[in-house]
Amino acid sequence: MIKIEDYDYQLPSELIAQEALKNRDECRLLVVDRENNDTKEGVFKDIASDLGEDDVLVLNESRVFPARLIGKKDSGGKVELLLLRKTREKEWEAICRPGLKKGKRLDFGELKGEVTENWEEAIEIRFEFEGDFWKILEKIGKTPIPPYIQNDRENEIRKDYQTVYANSYGSAAAPTAGLHFTNELLEKLLKKGVQIEKVNLDVGLGTFKPVSEKNLERGKLHSEHFELRAEVADRLNLAKKQGKRIIAVGTTSVRVLEAMSDEKGNLRGGSGETDIFIYPPYKFKFVDSLLTNFHLPKSSLLMLVSALMGEAWREVYKEAVEKRYRFFSFGDAMWIR
């Protein structure tokens, strides 16, 4: 049976990237050949020379929203809220510090709220506001960055912690593999004949949580909302039948494609919630290759990487540490092909 401890590794804290590079497509890229586990080093933007008409990139276009709210309780004490996802009209699931009882009133300025449910790890809050909810959030909310990033420059973070192709609001964390793309690089890839398709998976904070024994027992992860449009599924199915290489940009894109693929490797369009948990010895049904970052120890993301490239991940991560690659959300990239 798989053990969580098998996915631990030693990482010097100075290798955890604290800010994005000035030119996001100039991060380092470690390319791993799955057939022989050989590696080669490069720069991310150079993927343009390795991609062409027989390749398909699948991007997650979910947009990070300013999900951190700082306000006051009706008693006057400070409260901090982290919005996770919308549950009903004007109602949201959220993490709250400190914990709050049902019925508690909260004030965030242009947003007022009342706690309607109190669960073990989260609360539900019903908001009261006038105008456009998203515009209010953009004005009063803060970007929810992972705890390992010690950077509170909001204007800088809001720009850097968003993909250039982000579309619909929904993510409480960035699909970080996509942060390396620029509009110029995407244009260059299109001119070379690379097919670019977009899916949507709203990234939740569970993405960064260590895997629990409960996850392993159930074979399920936290659920996340996704959408795979029917016309996108049709184009991807055709590309697969034509023998094109399906390259998922990020583990979130992988989750959508594998969740919506049948045993024969046929995609269907749709939307909903997925709690798919990909770990060895999972056999991939649709994805051929993965562009991703270097992930946290004991995380579901690292287990997914291991399912794709096998035990070789250990030596590859060891090499990345020895060569001083930058890790996690603002870090360098790896291409498993």
For residue range 232-249, what is the model confidence (pLDDT) as tens digits? 999 999 999 999 999 999
Q: Are residues 194 and 305 in the same domain?
A: yes
d(Cα 168, Cα 199) in Å, to the nearest integer? 11
E-state strands within 44-119:
55-60, 63-64, 68-73, 78-88, 91-97, 105-107, 112-118
Q: Does residue 319 form part of some domain? A: yes
What confidence score (pLDDT) does residue 228 get?
A: 99
Task: Please provide residue 145's backbone torsions phi and psi, each rounded to the nearest 5 degrees.
Answer: -90, 155
Backbone dihedral region for residue 182 (phi beyond 0: left; psi -120 to 50: alpha; all else: beta): beta
- The segments of the chain whose pLDDT lies below 70 read 205, 207-209
CATH number at residue 123: 2.40.10.240
Other Cβ atoms within 10 Å of 43 Cβ, number: 15
What confidence score (pLDDT) does residue 22 get?
A: 96
Instruction: Please tell me the total count of domains within the chain.
Output: 2
Q: Are residues 73 and 92 in the same domain?
A: yes
Q: Does residue 252 form part of some domain? A: yes
Of 111, 140, 169, the one marking the end of a domain is: 140
Q: Are residues 223 and 107 in the same domain?
A: no
Tokens of 31: 């390319």
* Domain hosting residue 261, numbered range: 4-64+158-336
Q: Does residue 289 form part of some domain? A: yes
What confidence score (pLDDT) does residue 64 get?
A: 96
Q: Are residues 122 and 249 in the same domain?
A: no
Q: Are residues 166 and 258 in the same domain?
A: yes
CB 187, CB 210: distance < 8 Å: no
Rg value, the chain, Cα? 20
Q: Are residues 191 and 277 in the same domain?
A: yes
The β-bridge partners of 142 are: 68
Burial of 1 (0-12, 13-18, 19+ CB in 10 A): exposed
What confidence score (pLDDT) does residue 214 get?
A: 78
What confidence score (pLDDT) does residue 220 get?
A: 85
Q: Are residues 44 and 126 in the same domain?
A: no
CB 336, CB 309: distance < 8 Å: yes
Q: Are residues 79 and 163 in the same domain?
A: no
Q: Does residue 108 form part of some domain? A: yes
Q: Which of 92, 203, 77, 202 is nearest to 141 (CA)?
A: 92
The model's pTM is: 0.94
Q: Does residue 152 form part of some domain? A: no
Total residues found in the chain within this entry: 337
What confidence score (pLDDT) does residue 208 get?
A: 60
Q: Are residues 36 and 75 in the same domain?
A: no
E-state strands within the chain:
28-32, 39-43, 55-60, 63-64, 68-73, 78-88, 91-97, 105-107, 112-118, 123-128, 169-171, 195-201, 220-228, 245-249, 270-276, 289-293, 333-336
CATH number at residue 245: 3.40.1780.10
Q: Are residues 76 and 217 in the same domain?
A: no
What confidence score (pLDDT) does residue 207 get?
A: 67
